[in-house]
């Protein structure tokens, strides 16, 4: 495990952030036509079922596969899709969920003994200050319950990160495919219990390009490529080095929302984006000053 990112890994981290940022456009379009939990289930069904026949199961414990699939598929995305459906602006959601970087660093410190360097904590703090500035500039009128749901989704994302770290250096495509098997069934059960049955049936029997095309993009872009590469980076670098890159997601999310939906970025939002970038630079490029983590797995 190294505490420096190579140019290749740096580029991959930025690519992941771009995929995740653009995904909020597909989410907003999809949940406008389909129940959110059913749409989430479709996303993970497409991520798992076509490929599980061809992709070997990774050398990871069943507990870690199931934990990752439930935390990411059901916890993170079930809550996120529902929040956007019920009033959370897509661009703002891409921002708020980035508090997962703080949750991830703290959970890794508590459970995996990955102690962050002072510069990494400082950089995360500066970047989160930028996130707060953007939130204040855009979120005064946002509904409360969807906001809380996105915060909870961020906590589930952080928990899922721990399961991917515990899995170690496994085949990450296989890890994402096989862990996705654990998401559709509980999502469908929750959807049937909580959502309108006729809307669920209509989404399946009258497929639209927006719903099925959006689910396919989310399954193979942000999920397969994005989370596969993210887990790969986490298996090779300390959490405190990788996690702050998720703070680039709202930069892409807000920018794509402005491009697709005509949202404008005011001066405070642009200033917040600049602060996020500054914090990320501190976290990633600051000189080494402390002991690097000695363990990537829980005993």
Helix/strand/coil (H/E/C) assignment for every residue in 182-241: CCHHHHHHHHHHHCCHHHHHHHHHCCCHHHHHHHHHHHHHHHHHHHHHHHHHHCCCCHHH
Structure tokens at 251: 């930069």
Q: What is the pLDDT of residue 298?
A: 36
* Ranges in the chain, pLDDT < 50: 289-299
Structure tokens at 139: 């979120």
Q: What is the pLDDT of residue 257?
A: 82
How much is the pTM? 0.82
How many whole angstroms separate alpha carbon 24 and alpha carbon 197?
A: 25
Q: What is the pLDDT of residue 8?
A: 93
Q: What is the pLDDT of residue 142?
A: 60
291: left (phi over 0), alpha (psi -120 to 50) or beta: beta
Taking alpha carbons only, the member of 121, 113, 117 closest to residue 296 is 113
Q: What is the pLDDT of residue 80?
A: 97
Taking alpha carbons only, the member of 243, 290, 71, 246 closest to residue 159 is 71
How many whole angstroms separate alpha carbon 136 and alpha carbon 144?
A: 14
Burial (CB < 10 A; 0-12, 13-18, 19+), residue 142, is middle
């Amino acid at each position: 495990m190294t505490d420096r990112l190579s140019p290749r890994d740096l580029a991959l981290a930025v690519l992941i952030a771009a995929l995740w940022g653009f995904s909020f456009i597909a989410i907003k379009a999809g949940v406008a036509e389909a129940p959110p939990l059913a749409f989430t289930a479709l996303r993970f069904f497409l991520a798992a079922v076509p490929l599980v026949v061809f992709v070997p199961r990774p050398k990871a414990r069943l507990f870690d596969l199931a934990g990752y699939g439930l935390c990411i598929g059901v916890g993170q995305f079930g809550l996120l899709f529902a929040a956007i459906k019920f009033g959370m602006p897509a661009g703002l959601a891409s921002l708020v969920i980035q508090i997962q970087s703080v949750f991830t660093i703290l959970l890794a410190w508590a459970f995996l003994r990955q102690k962050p360097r002072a510069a990494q904590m400082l950089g995360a703090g500066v970047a989160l200050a930028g996130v707060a500035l953007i939130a204040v500039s855009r979120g005064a009128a946002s509904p409360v319950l969807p906001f809380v749901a996105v915060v909870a989704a961020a906590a589930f994302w952080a928990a899922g990160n721990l399961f991917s770290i515990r899995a170690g250096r496994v085949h990450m495509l296989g890890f994402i495919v096989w862990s996705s098997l654990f998401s559709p069934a509980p999502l469908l059960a929750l959807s049937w219990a909580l959502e309108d049955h006729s809307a669920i049936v209509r989404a399946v029997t009258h497929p639209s390009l927006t719903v099925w095309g959006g689910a396919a993009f989310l399954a193979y872009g942000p999920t397969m490529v994005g989370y596969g590469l993210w887990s790969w980076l986490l298996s090779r670098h300390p959490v405190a080095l990788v996690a702050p890159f998720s703070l680039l997601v709202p930069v892409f999310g807000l920018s794509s929302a402005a491009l697709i939906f005509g949202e404008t970025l005011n001066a405070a939002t642009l200033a917040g984006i600049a602060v996020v970038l500054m914090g990320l630079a501190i976290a990633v490029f600051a000189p080494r000053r402390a002991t690097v983590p000695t363990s990537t797995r829980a005993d």
